[in-house]
Amino acid sequence: MSGSADLTKLIAAAIINRRSLIDSGTTQAIRVFSGQADGLDGVFIDVYGEGAVLIVYEGRAPKAMMDPGAAGLVLDALRAIGVRGVYFKPFAKDRSKIGGELPSIVTDPTPAAGDALPEALMVREHAWNLEVRLFDGFSTGLFLDQRDNRRFVHDWVRRRVQAAPGPVHVLNTFAYTCAFSVAAAMGGAITASVDVSARYLDWGKRNFAHNGLDAALHRFAKMDTFEFFGYAKRKEMRFDLIVLDPPSFAAGSKKKGIRPWSSVADYARLVREASALAAPGGVIFASTNTQELCRPGRLEREIVAGLGSAPRWVKLPSTPVDFARDREQFAARAWVVS
């Protein structure tokens, strides 16, 4: 990148490539710039309605982009699509050096450029509303790459509700802020959301409330996923659809008997234990953003290893247009449990 004009041109071209999505009205949360795929490695821009987040990775992004002042150029380029404020999130090359404290800039309510925005913003996605927080740390509460997979879950549940009497039960593991659970509940499911964080489960309950859903009719379990698997097995619970979307890594707890999690080492085990809870004819949706597992065919091999045989695969939506040019960004598969 040789100057601000180049950045402006790159963002303008990226917006043109996403114009169909921006104009579709299906979502207010879009990745409008995606690193090397859009011409600038280590630089990502996510838009959430009137707010945007500029994400830069030290050691990959040009040095000029590591300055919060770059947000002003981004804001100028995004005003045409309604953005009023840009927040800045720099990711250090060695995250261990920052210790347990977050850089102040990722929790500062004053944006790096433009107008300050509310702590909690509501964004529309398909037929539901979701709460995001642009200065709540490194994350915002919503993974944009799963947008159309959430629609898949919603549509699958809705068809199942219409086709057969009785409730449809959906289990959302590593639930985070429960966006998959909201999509399923909006389709008519009774959901169980499992996460080790009470804070994120409370956020999930707010997401239910934002959509007129009664959280009391659904389960929110502050538990390790494998701990919940054991509990559900003892209670003879069965689920028509199970969502597996774990982080790449997670710390364990010796005190609670929870071992550390690694997607590369543990995904097959996750599949094996989840499949034991699936109702006959149910579907398991499995996803990962772990780079090694995103390589062609790698996630499928973990699934087959976990099951002990090849399943019957279900067709998922195509990669969203705002992520379509990325390679090895994320991988997802779904299959039917006989």
Rounded Cα–Cα distance for residues 24 and 1 (Å): 31
Rounded Cα–Cα distance for residues 89 and 152 (Å): 30
Helix, strand or coil for residue 177?
coil
Rounded Cα–Cα distance for residues 72 and 305 (Å): 49
Quick: pLDDT tens for 209-254. Answer: 999 999 999 999 999 999 999 999 999 999 999 999 999 988 776 7
Task: Return all residues near 70 (Cβ < 8 A) that are at least 6 apart.
Answer: 7, 54, 56, 64, 88
* CA 50 from centroid of its chain's CA atoms: 20
- For the record, the structure tokens of 67 come out as 């300055």
Q: What is the pLDDT along the chain (338 residues), one digit of tens a residue?
A: 445 569 999 999 999 999 999 999 999 999 999 999 999 999 999 999 999 999 999 999 999 999 999 999 999 999 999 999 999 999 997 655 555 678 999 999 999 999 999 999 999 999 999 999 999 999 999 999 999 999 999 999 999 999 988 899 999 999 999 999 999 999 999 999 999 999 999 999 999 999 999 999 999 999 999 999 999 999 999 999 999 999 998 877 677 667 788 999 999 999 999 999 999 999 999 999 999 999 999 999 999 999 999 999 999 999 999 998 875 678 899 999 85
Give yes or no for a contact between 309 and 334, defined as CB atoms under 8 angstroms apart. no
- For the chain, the domains span 4-118, 144-336
Task: Return all residues near 17 (Cβ < 8 A) that are at least 6 apart.
Answer: 38, 321, 325
Neighbours of 191 (CB within 10 A): 30
For the chain, how many residues are written? 338
Helix, strand or coil for residue 28?
coil
* Cα atoms in the 13 Å half-sphere on the side-chain side of 327: 5
Quick: pLDDT tens for 93-135. Answer: 765 555 567 899 999 999 999 999 999 999 999 999 999 999 9
Rounded Cα–Cα distance for residues 87 and 105 (Å): 8
DSSP assigned state of 188: T
Question: CA-CA distances (angstroms) from residue 52 to 44, 47, 83, 89, 162?
Answer: 10, 4, 7, 11, 38
Report whether CATH 3.30.1010.10 matches the domain 4-118.
no
Assigned CATH for 144-336: 3.40.50.150
- Phi, psi for 21 (deg, rounded to 5): -70, -45
Rounded Cα–Cα distance for residues 159 and 240 (Å): 12
* CA 222 from centroid of its chain's CA atoms: 19
DSSP assigned state of 320: P
Rounded Cα–Cα distance for residues 311 and 278 (Å): 13
Q: What is the pTM of this model?
A: 0.94
Give yes or no for a contact between 73 and 8, defined as CB atoms under 8 angstroms apart. yes
Rounded Cα–Cα distance for residues 269 and 258 (Å): 14
